[in-house]
Amino acid sequence: MKKKAALILALLLVLSLGLSACGKTAGNTSNGASNTNNAQPPEPPVTAESLIKGFADKTGSGTGVIYNMELAMKMSVSVMGQNQSVSMEGQLKTESRDGISHVSGTMTADEGEGKEESAMESWTVKEGDKFISYTKDGDNWYKQELDIKVNPDSLKSLMFAKDVSTLALSEADNEYHVDGTVDIATMMGMINEVMGSMDDMGDLNTLDLSDVAPAKVSYRFDKATKDLISCEIDMKESFQGIMDKLIKSMVEALAEQGAEEGDNTVNPLAGMDLSSFFKIQADEFKIWLKDVKVDPALKLELPEEAKNASVLPVIPDDFIGFYVEEMTIYLPSSFKDINSDEYGLTALYGSDEHGCAVAIRREDKKDVGALAKDLATYAELLLKANAKYSPGPIKQVNGRPVFEYSTEINGTNYSYYTTAFESENAFWMVQFYSLTEDYEDLIPLFRQCVDSVDFF
């Protein structure tokens, strides 16, 4: 869940930065000419551009911004005729001022097996020229340096529609309404520029989005103060266009792969209409910013418990994610799947290049029963199961139980690095092993891979 939360909160960071760190403090715009009769100059006419720019100017350095954010995403996924509805909803409060932002609330996901609600809290602090994210997952805090490039002009364009293709101004009761669209290619480009290189976006970074439907934006301003009241971003059609592009890209990649393999290899997907094999239908994708308030007196300070956060690992570029049930583990790209059934394992991956392998076993908590009531007792259970190899004592490495041992198999010495995890419904064994002569050199790699484990 940590990586999902981090990705979502990183997007929200973009929005919060756009509201608090990008504007310029309104200053004296007089050209210095004297006014001999002290008459006040006529107020300029209200336009869509003046409302957006005016609020941007109010949210500059030294000014806090508070707003509630809501997210609603619903889509239908069809794979080989099997349909599944996926939805995500979020209710989050965001506070931002002078390079520090705080996001807290709940995210509710439903992937067809019932709704799962998760509490989310994150602080993002600008330290020098870097942004550090502190994210709470359960009772634990995790710290991570974000690869973010801050361009104030891009941020202001993203949030305040500097480059919108249309802007329409209307009035209703005590409000001004400004409606328009934002080119989705421009928006995705700015998000990527703000957030840096995002591996999680995968092929999205290379897609041509120039003909994808634009996102719709609707602003509501108070007529008296000209302050922003709310903002709605509707990306349903944009998201649909992006998904269609992504699926098409996957189909073309499979076709190219088949051609490269030559006539001697049969590509089982060749000639198939994969657009019918895999479909995504976007039903809703909206973000709302509500109850927006400018607060010059807002004070934000990172809580003490977050300052002692564990450091989230940086996943190297040459690592790829392997998905085992609800677990994700990142391994070097040279690791390949090995048939694990004959070993009674849930998964087994090995790398000839690195000369090592990792065995993963998932045990449902109801099957383990009273033998293990928590992670500590499960680790003890694993230790006892390997007692004949005289394993070393359990020690804590980055907050996880670890024990090691070596043994001889058919005249060859092997060494094992074993750790354990606990997810909502299961206990997990993750065991790396290699030739004993290579083991010490590989321990940093084992720990790096173990640190990448996450559950969703």
Nearest to 154 by CA among 58, 13, 14, 54: 14
d(CA 128, CA 438): 40
Rounded distance between C-alpha atoms, residue 325 and residue 347, angstroms: 9
Helix (H) or strand (E) holding 48: helix 48-58
CB of 23 within 8 A of CB of 157?
no
Going from the N-terminus, what domains does the chain have, and what CATH number goes with each? 2-24+43-310 (no CATH), 317-455 (3.40.1000.10)
CA nearest neighbour of 402 among 417, 387, 390: 417
- Rounded Cα distance between 49 and 215, Å, is 18
Q: Name the pairing type of β-strands 454-455 and 327-332.
A: antiparallel
Q: Report the percentage of the chain scoring pLDDT > 90.
A: 36
Question: Which tens digits make up the pLDDT trace of 202-232?
Answer: 445 567 778 888 888 899 999 999 999 998 9
Beta-strand runs (E) in 394-453: 395-397, 400-409, 412-422, 426-435
What is the three-class DSSP state of 121? strand
3-state secondary structure of 247: helix
Query: CA 58 to CA 47: how far, in whole Å?
Result: 17
Output the CA–CA distances (angstroms, integers) from residue 268 to 176, 248, 278, 399, in the order listed: 58, 18, 15, 45
| CA neighbor of 68 nearest in space, from 288, 220, 249 | 288
- What per-residue confidence (pLDDT) applies to 193? 47
Q: How many angstroms separate the CA atoms of 227 and 292, rounded?
A: 8
Q: What pLDDT, on a 0 to 100 scale, did the predictor assign at position 365?
A: 93
CB 355 within 8 A of CB 434: yes
Burial class (CB in 10 A: 0-12, 13-18, 19+), 289: buried
- Per-residue pLDDT of 367-417, as tens digits, reads 998 899 999 999 999 999 999 999 999 999 887 899 999 999 999 999 999
Strand 140-146 and strand 310-311: the pairing is: parallel
Residue with tokens 């479909």: 279
In this prediction, residue 381 carries a pLDDT of 95
- State the pLDDT at residue 148: 57
CA distance 204 to 242: 8
pTM beyond 0.85: the answer is: no
Q: What residue ranges of the chain have pLDDT lower than 50?
A: 1-5, 7, 14, 17-36, 151-164, 193-203, 258-265
